[in-house]
Amino acid sequence: MIVEDLKDFLNSFAKMKSTLKSFNYEQESVSTEVVAMLKTLVVHRIEHMAAFELLLVFAPDEALSVMKERYISRDLSNHINDQVADLEIMFDDIYCILGKEKFEELLNCPEFLAENKNNVRVKEAIEFAYDTQI
């Protein structure tokens, strides 16, 4: 029984991964149900980078809410998950998709903890987002 369940899961996971990577958001739309599922993927860190990018396109407020709740409002220096590693790509996606103004709003929001702003790796992630736009 467990073998079949594992096979089903792995096949479904591979299919979902492929779908997220090949999703053409310029030609397709998503429902609120899909937005909720994308948010769940980000929160549970399951193909979360691709899911976060789609969230930025289809539900930018939800994406920024997740960023605030799960990343920048928690002390990342002592967090059990190494979420700082994700910030380079996530910050870059925010800058590229939502623009410099929204990115800087996020950087200056009250939820962004001072200890995170002073974290060397977070600073590097911010610099990366700015540098890729040149």
Query: Has residue 80 got a pLDDT over 70?
Result: no
Query: Has residue 16 got a pLDDT over 80?
Result: yes
Taking a C-beta distance cutoff of 8 angstroms, is the pair 49, 91 a contact? no
Q: Find the range with the poorest average confidence among 8-12, 81-85, 117-121, 127-131.
A: 81-85
Tell me, what amino acid is at 50? A
Query: Has residue 25 got a pLDDT over 90?
Result: no
Burial zone of 52 (CB within 10 Å; 0-12 exposed, 13-18 middle, 19+ buried): buried
Taking a C-beta distance cutoff of 8 angstroms, is the pair 70, 42 a contact? yes
Side-chain half-sphere CA neighbours of 117 within 13 A: 11
Residue ranges in the chain assigned as alpha helix (H): 2-22, 32-43, 48-58, 60-67, 84-98, 100-107, 114-117, 120-131
pTM of the predicted protein model:
0.85
Question: 94 — alpha (psi -120 to 50), left (phi > 0) or beta?
Answer: alpha
- Residue 11, Cα to own-chain centre: how many angstroms? 24
Taking a C-beta distance cutoff of 8 angstroms, is the pair 52, 90 a contact? yes
Query: Has residue 19 got a pLDDT over 70?
Result: yes
Q: Which domain holds residue 89?
A: 2-131
Taking a C-beta distance cutoff of 8 angstroms, is the pair 122, 128 a contact? no
Question: pLDDT averaged over the chain?
Answer: 89
Specify the higher pLDDT residue, 26 or 55.
Answer: 55
Q: What does the pLDDT read at residue 41?
A: 92
Instruction: Count up the domains in the chain and report the number.
Output: 1
